[in-house]
């Protein structure tokens, strides 16, 4: 099933963690823009990366417990930016405060598609 980005966004929480609210909002906006461009398969892969499953409860994003969280943290390494990470028990994706949409899109794609060694069934 197609994961509706507008619904995903509505039922998500933004958590700035050590960054200004305006920076966190910009990074989150880039995330939603990136997800709009993703195929249904890539959206499912991101969901699986973040919550441990590529499927939602029958009622959709509103049924996720806990709610999906976008946590934005400072980008610490100027030379080699870290990839986004996920905390599946908390349904949280942690994204460094990247400097551009392109950087976020690149790092997110790598994290989601190369970092799937969690042992979860991502179907």
Catalogue the active-site residues: 89
Question: CA nearest 121: which of 97, 90, 88?
Answer: 88
The owner of tokens 């409860």 is 57
Task: Supply 45's token pair.
Answer: 């892969």
| Residues 89 and 50 sit within 8 Å (Cβ to Cβ) | no
């Amino acid at each position: 099933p197609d994961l509706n980005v507008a619904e995903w966004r509505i039922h998500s929480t933004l958590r700035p963690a050590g960054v200004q609210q305006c920076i966190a909002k910009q990074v989150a906006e880039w995330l939603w823009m990136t997800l709009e461009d993703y195929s249904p398969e890539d959206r499912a892969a991101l969901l699986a990366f973040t919550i441990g499953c590529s499927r939602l409860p029958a009622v959709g994003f509103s049924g996720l417990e806990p709610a999906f969280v976008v946590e934005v943290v400072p980008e610490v390494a100027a030379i080699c930016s870290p990839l986004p990470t996920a905390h599946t028990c908390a349904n949280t994706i942690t994204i460094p405060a990247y400097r551009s949409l392109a950087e976020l899109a690149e790092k997110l794609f790598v994290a989601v598609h190369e970092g799937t060694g969690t042992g979860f069934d991502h179907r």
